[in-house]
């Protein structure tokens, strides 16, 4: 694991939360991106080496809504940047962690991602991210 790539924060309404985090961080949101496969709309802020990723459900029937119903708005997951996501998946499976998607999937902000089940990581939803290098 290289470094924390982003902290995912579940929010009800990006129209409210983006300005709030722009004030909090004194930084502009640099990208909003919908990830159809996850039914989420994301909003990104750069904070040094790590990013903040705000997440709103696209239609209100996805994992973010379910999370908010259960736990309210707040930190949803921690994402780590890895060199080679397939190698990391194999290593983590071998180490006994529960990988939710063994085939990496396209995430937001030019990444291939996978998730570990929080039941295998002391209750923390962990995301692995490998940066997609255009043209490779």
Ligand X SMILES: CC[C@H](C(=O)O)C(=O)SCCNC(=O)CCNC(=O)[C@H](O)C(C)(C)COP(=O)(O)OP(=O)(O)OC[C@H]1O[C@@H](n2cnc3c(N)ncnc32)[C@H](O)[C@@H]1OP(=O)(O)O
Any contact of residue 51 with ligand X (CB under 6 A)? no
Measured between alpha carbons, how far apart are the two ends of the chain, in Å? 21
CB of 78 to Co ion, least distance (A): 9
d(CA 59, CA 70): 17
79 is a contact residue toward Co ion (CB under 5 A):
yes
Give which of ligand X, Co ion, none residue 57 binds (C-beta under 5 to 8 Å, depending on kind).
none
Cα-Cα-Cα-Cα dihedral sign, residues 98, 104, 106, 111: positive
Binding span for ligand X by CB under 6 A among 12-20, 23-31, 36-44, 91-99: 36-44
Looking at the Cβ atoms of 22 and 73, the one nearer to ligand X is 73
Q: What is the CA radius of gyration of the chain?
A: 15
Q: Which of residues 9, 11, 41, 125 is near ligand X by CB under 6 A?
A: 125
Which span sits near ligand X by CB under 6 A: 11-19, 23-31, 83-91, 114-122? 114-122
In sequence order, what DSSP letters do the residues of 45-57 get, joined into one string? Answer: EEETTEEEEEEEE
Residue the block writes with tokens 């004030």: 23
Pairing mode, strands 31-35 and 3-10: unpaired
Site for ligand X, rule CB under 6 A: 8, 35, 38, 40, 42, 53, 55, 63, 66-67, 70, 76-77, 79, 100, 107-108, 111, 113, 115, 117-119, 123, 125, 127
């Amino acid at each position: 694991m290289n470094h924390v790539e982003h902290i995912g924060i579940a929010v009800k309404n990006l129209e409210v939360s983006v300005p709030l985090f722009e004030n909090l961080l004194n930084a502009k949101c640099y990208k909003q991106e919908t990830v159809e496969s996850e039914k989420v709309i994301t909003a990104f802020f750069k904070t040094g080496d790590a990013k903040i990723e705000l997440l709103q459900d696209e239609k209100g029937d996805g994992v973010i809504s379910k999370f908010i119903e259960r736990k309210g708005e707040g930190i949803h997951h921690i994402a780590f940047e890895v060199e080679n996501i397939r190698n990391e998946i194999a290593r983590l499976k071998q180490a006994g962690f529960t990988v939710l998607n063994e085939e990496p999937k396209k995430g937001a902000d030019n990444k291939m991602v996978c998730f570990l089940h929080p039941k295998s990581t002391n209750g923390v939803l962990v995301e692995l991210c490998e940066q997609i290098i255009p043209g490779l």
